[in-house]
Structure 1
Amino acid sequence: MTGALVAGLLAGYGIAIPIGAVGAYLVTLSATSGPRVGAAAALGVATVDGLYAAVAVLGGTALSSRIAPYAGVAHRLAALVVLVVAGWLVAGAIRRYRRHTTATAGRDTALTPVRAYAVLLGMTLLNPTTLVYFGAVVVGGQAGGLGGPATGVVFVVAAFLASASWQLLLAAGGLLLGRLLTGPRGRLVTTLGAAVVVVVLAIRLALG
């Protein structure tokens, strides 16, 4: 059990810590939308990581090998979605700035916590690398005792908790940033800067 717990935590942090386009968007969303939206979005990302970990444990090795040849297409589709999201970020930031809004975080966005959860869930689902990654971890860990049902459950739960803790940390960082930059101009600059980062990461995703 301890081995499965450690393996799950390491796998969860291993897939969550490298900040890509989704992570950058999560930080920005939390900065502009408040703690409830940010936390919901973070859990949306972690849910996919836990789901893909479960699929890998239940036989995702064969599935991940079938998905791997189509990873390039999926990456380009994911990049397109992220670029659309970046455009939406910029458009929303410009509209808010033109209105000279001084609303606090959480009052200047159309995203509810439920919508934020769904958006980040959908964005993360488009990344098949996560499933391939967990499939490889499970294959490597079967010799170490990850083959049983109980240890599989421990592995999945640990992976989800590791991912959730990291995503919530990113959301908290975004929330802190949003509190530091409460003025319309500061939040406009923050959002535009984050949008540039998202675009760059999306291009790398498409090319990778």
Structure 2
Amino acid sequence: MTAALVAGLLAGYGIAVPVGAVATYLVSLTARTSLRTGVCAALGVATADGLYALVAALGGSALAAALQPVLVPLRWASGLVLIALAVRGATAAVRHYRSPRHAAAARRTPPSPARAYLGLLGITLLNPTTVIYFAALVLGSRAAQAVLPLEQGVFVLAAFVASASWQVLLAGGGALLGRALTGRRGRLVTALLSSAVILGLAVRMLMSPA
């Protein structure tokens, strides 16, 4: 049981800690909205990680075979969604900077926590890296076929908790960033930098070999 707990924690942190496009978007979203919205978005990311950990733990070799035909479409779908988010974020930042009236309206109607949760859940579910990562972990374990259901449950829960703790930490950083950059120019620069990073990571994802 302890081994399954440690393995789950390591797996959760292993997929969550590397800062990619989704993490960048999470920080940027929290900086523009609120900590509550950011935490909900963070839990959306962690939920997707937990679901993939569950599927990988239960699926075994069948999962790896089933994923092969859809890995490329998943990669393209994820990349295109992230590019759209980057372009939308940069466009909105420039528009709000040029027109304070639009900026005030945006602050009055931020994304709801539920919408943020579902949005980040969907984006993360499209990320093929998460699928491959958890499938490789399960298939790489010599005892994968002999693991008890309770141990599988502990592994999945630990992976979810690890991912959630890191994503919430990122959201907290985004909230602090949003408070520090209260001026219009600071928010513009932050949004443009975030969009540039997301765009670069998305293009790199699309250009990577299948």
The two structures have a TM-score, normalised by structure 2, of: 0.91
Given that 2:57 and 2:138 are in contact with CA atoms closer than 8 Å, whether structure 1 keeps it comes out as: yes
Contact 2:75-2:126 at 8 Å conserved across structures: yes
Contact 1:102 1:184 in 2 (8 A): no
- Structure 1 Cα separation of the partners of residues 14 and 146 of structure 2: 18
Q: Contact 1:52 / 1:134 at 8 angstroms: preserved in 2?
A: yes
Residue of structure 1 in register with 2:149 after alignment: 149
Alignment match, 2:86? 86
Asked if structure 1 preserves the Cα contact closer than 8 Å seen for 2:8 and 2:159, the reply is yes
Alignment of 1:92-131 (within 5 A): 92-100=92-100, 107=107, 110-131=110-131
- 1:182 corresponds to: 182
Counterpart AA for 1:40: C
Is the 2:60–2:144 Cα contact (8 Å) retained in structure 1?
no
User: Which residue in the other structure is 2:199 paired with?
Assistant: 199
How far apart are the structure 1 equivalents of 2:80 and 2:102?
32
Supply the AA of the counterpart residue of 1:153.
Answer: G
Q: Secondary structure at the match of 1:19?
A: coil
Aligned position for 1:67: 67
Task: Give the deviation of 1:192 after TM superposition.
Answer: 0.6
Unaligned runs of 5+ in 2: none
Report SS of the residue matched to 1:141: coil
Q: What letter is aligned with 1:136?
A: A
Name the counterpart of 1:134. 134
Structure 1 residue 141 displacement after superposition: 3.1
Shift of 1:76: 1.5
Q: Secondary structure at the match of 2:111?
A: coil
CA deviations over 1:119-172 (Å, ceiling 9, x no partner): 111111111221221122122335289710000000000000000011111111
State the one-letter code of the partner of 1:196. A
* 8 Å contact from structure 1 (residues 4, 145) kept in 2: no
Unmatched 5+ stretches in structure 1: none
Between the aligned residues of both structures, percent identity stands at 54
Asked whether the equivalents of residues 71 and 129 of structure 1 are also in contact (C-alpha less than 8 Å), the reply is: no
Which range moved further: 158-167 or 53-62? 53-62
RMSD of aligned C-alpha atoms?
Answer: 2.1
Query: In the alignment, is the contact (CA less than 8 A) between 1:26 and 1:38 conserved in 2?
Result: yes
The one-letter amino acid of 1:191's match is A
Shift in Å, 1:91? 2.2
Q: Indicate if the aligned counterparts of 1:138 and 1:146 stay in contact, CA closer than 8 A.
A: no
Contact 2:57 2:152 in 1 (8 A): yes
The structural deviation recorded for 1:77 is 1.5
Q: How many residues were matched structurally?
A: 207
Question: Following the alignment from structure 2 to structure 1, what is the Cα–Cα distance between the partners of residues 25 and 161?
Answer: 21
After superposition, residues 44-59 of structure 1 pair within 5 angstroms as 44-59=44-59
Q: Displacement of 1:109 after TM fit?
A: 5.0
CA shift in 2, pair 1:38/1:29, >3 Å: same
Residue 33 of structure 2: aligned partner: 33
Q: By how many angstroms is 1:93 displaced?
A: 1.4
